[in-house]
Structure 1
Amino acid sequence: MEAIGYINRQSSLDAVFAALADPTRRAILSRLAEGEASVNEIAAPFEMSQPAVSRHLKVLERAGLIEREIDQQRRPARLKAEKMAAAVAWLEEFRAFWAGSFDQLDDVLVSMKLAEKKEAKDE
C-alpha cells in the first residue's frame, strides 16, 4: 500500500518538473505570480500563437500548477502553489547534501589558498 502512495507522489512530481522544464511555461508561471490573466494577456510578450500558449497552459493545468475557470467569455488562469510547494519540499530533502558538498568545497579552496601562500613564501 505504501508503494502506491510513493508512485502517486512521484508521478505528480514528474508532471510538475516536466511542466517546469520549459522556459516558456516558467515565464507563464512568473506572469501568473503577479495575478490572474487571460490567454491574450499571457500570450502578449511571446512570439507564438494563442493556441500554442493554450497548449502550455494545459500542461501547467494538468500538472496542477495553475487553474482556469470560465468567467463569462474569458478563461483566466491563476497560479496554484500547492503542487509547486510539493516540488520545493522534495528538493529541500537534498539541501543537507548540497550544504555538505559546499562545505567540503570551501575546505578544499582554503587548503589550496594556504598551499599557494606557503609556496609563495618559500620562493
Structure 2
Amino acid sequence: MAGAVADPVRRQILELLLRGGPRPAGDVAERFAISRPAVSRHLRVLRRSGLVRDELVGRQRLYTLDPGPFEELVAWLGPFVRPSGWEHRLDALETEVYRTRRERRTRGDAGQGVTGQESTA
C-alpha cells in the first residue's frame, strides 16, 4: 500500500475520489495532463492495493475510495505524527496558566461586595 500512495498522481486521484465521490475512469483521466492509459494504470495500482474499488455500471467503470485500508496506514504513521515531549510540556504549562488565572479570579471575587468594591467589614 505504501508504494501505491508514493506516486503524486495516485495521491491526487485519491484526493479527487475523497472530495468528489465515485467517478468514472474517463472523468478521472480528464483531470490530468497524462494519457488515459497512464491514468488507467494508476487506477489499477490503487485498485490492486485495495485503496479504491471499481464497479461496472453500464459501460462505465466507477471508481470509489475504500477508506478501510487507510486505517492501517494511519496506525503506521501514528508514531511519526504524535506530539513531541515539548508539546506535552507546553500543553501542561498552558493548563497551569489557565488554572492559576481561574484561582485568582475566584479569590478576587470572594473579597468583593455586590458593587464590585472590596468589603470593609
Partner of 1:81: 67
The alignment yields a C-alpha RMSD, in angstroms, of 2.0
Q: Which residue of 1 aligns with 2:43?
A: 57
Q: Which has the larger radius of gyration?
A: 2
Please list every run of 5 or more consecutive structure 1 residues that lacks an aligned counterpart in the other structure: 1-15, 108-123
Share of identical aligned residues, percent? 39
- Count of aligned residue pairs for this structure pair: 88
TM-score (norm 2): 0.66
- Higher fraction of strand: 2
Q: Secondary structure at the match of 2:53?
A: strand
- Considering Cα pairs closer than 8 Å and 6+ residues apart, tell me whether 1 or 2 has the greater RCO: 1
Tell me which stretches of 4 or more aligned residues in structure 1 moved more than 4 Å: none
Question: 1:45: how far off?
Answer: 1.8
TM-score by length of 1: 0.65
- Which of 24, 30, 35 is the equivalent residue of 2:15? 30
**Cα deviation, residue 40, structure 1:** 1.0
Partner of 2:78: 92
Q: What's the secondary structure of 2:45's corresponding residue? A: helix
Question: Which segments of 5 or more consecutive residues in structure 2 lack a partner in the other structure?
Answer: 91-121
Aligned mates of 1:45, 1:54 — CA distance in 2 = 13
2:53 pairs, out of 67, 80, 84, with 67
